A and B are shown apart, each in its own frame.
Chain A
Amino acid sequence: MARNGDEFKSMSGTGIEIRDLSKRYFPRRGVVVEAIRHLDLSVAAGAFLAIVGPSGCGKSTLLHLVAGLEEASSGSILIDGAVPEELVRRHRLGIAFQDSALLPWLSVESNLALPFKLAGRPVIRDRVSELIDLVGLKGFERARPSQLSGGMRQRTAIARSLCLEPDVLLLDEPFGALDVVTRRRLNIELERIWRDRAITTLLVTHSVEEALFLSDRTIVMEKPGAIAQVVDVPFPRPRTPELLRCDAFHHLTDQVTVWLQV
């Protein structure tokens, strides 16, 4: 277990290189809040990295910085050698949040067509229906978000994030508002969907179980905005529901949970 992720080098394709990244907020005059502090992190192309940590440790901020939604105070983020804004401009980023952030006036189908329209590309109907099928929403194409359950809304958001076949997938607590049973089922589905694609993925989560089940590597963050531990997850893929019941998995979950509470 390494203290930092430096040897987790990118091979080819879209890896993420974060160097000496800091993010400071100035909420009032004379008050400085450090959300991220001199953080170094490398994510290999096609790897699944999960980030766990206590509330306010800066994990969501980190994701926002990688998505180009906020600007770093210092340091750099390079995705396949380019800044995040460049990736966003080329529509190569997929994203899903805890609040599904579906447009309430559009059907499931139209919400999935939206990324194509925003990118100014023709909507690939086959891919939309394939994704709807993949996340188990066949028959709900015309339903409005308000007519769906929380789990179904999150499935729609995940499907939407994959519409343009992104190079990088960013997931911020995508299942955070769901009950445990639904959450496990969606984790199993997400692992299956991800395995077929192997998109470089960052997942921010509160759930250690979710992080270890899904990721190749899990980092534990601590306040303020630094990496406390790096865990290389040893379990082979495909990961199945049986993994959730196996002793080695429980051991690792307990271990990481202890680190979280330090």
Chain B
Amino acid sequence: MEVAQSRHTINTIYAVLGLALFLGLWQWAGKAGLAGPSLPAVSDVLRTLFSSDSFPLLSRSALSTLLSAAKGLLFGSSMAILLAIVMRLLPPLQPGLDRLALLVNAIPPIALGPILIVVFSRSRTPTVLAAIQVFFLFYVAASSGLSAPPGLNNVITAFGASHWKRLLYLELPSALPYLASGLKAAVSASFIGAILGEWFGAPQGLGLVILNAMQNFQIRLMWAAVTMAAAMSLTGFLAAAILEKILSRRFSA
């Protein structure tokens, strides 16, 4: 326990050191003008981010991207979990649906964009693309999480549990840590999906800001938007990691 604790502390120290080193190098490279104006220093990017010119635009766009990502996460994960539960209750369908999930995952999202715009709309595409990005991760997490260890399964069977009772008392609780680690991967996937979706002409969002800034050579604004997106994605990842830790302590053997 103590060894694990100190290893954890060491890992945290390394992570902080690594981040500091990265930011330091970035700052130095920017100030030294290593890549010319296309690589501004961190301090300049942050100044742009919080300037009265850009901050209202960036925060409004970030909120819109966050909403698309969150809605996509919610839709994608509920569809995936529901489907995985249906699989549990109707095992003969499993091979077919597994293949369908793989197929959906194999389509490059960039190729899906134009189709989604035609089928849905420009404003809904970010959400839908985020949902698709999230779906497979959650489907895999849910289907592996729902298959409980055989020992527990045997006892529950011998006590005469129905499929629903087994799901409720055994399979869903034992899937929770798996779902949390699925969430960890899905958070960044949902942001990728949302931002990518915004590139296809969404009315607002960080993806749109990044695209416009790039096309208008507003280099610092582009970096500020990217930094904002990275910060949101990282925050979500950390929250999911904490949730995973709590759930796996509570629900694993």
Contacts and interface: CB of A to CB of B under 8 A. Distances in A.
Interface of A: 64, 67-69, 88-91, 93, 95, 97, 99, 101, 103-105, 114-115, 117-120, 145-146, 164, 170
Nearest to A86: B160
A98 B151 CA distance: 9
Nearest to A114: B169
Contact of B165 (A69, A99, A104, A117): A117
A103 B160 contact: no
A89 B157 CA distance: 9
A89 B169 contact: no
Given A99-B151, A105-B250, A118-B165, A90 B160 contact: yes
B70 to A, nearest CB: 28
B88 to A, nearest CB: 16
B154 A101 contact: yes
Interface of B: 151-152, 154-161, 165, 169-170, 173, 250-253
Contacts of B251: 104-105
Q: What secondary structure prevails in chain B residues at the interface with A?
A: helix
Given A118-B165, A120-B165, A146-B253, A89 B160 contact: yes
B173 A118 contact: no
A67 B158 contact: yes
A170 B201 CA distance: 65
Nearest to B177: A105
Contact of B159 (A64, A104, A105, A118): A118
A101 B160 CA distance: 15
Given A93-B160, A114-B159, A101 B152 contact: yes
B154 A103 contact: no
Contacts of A89: 160
B151 A97 contact: yes
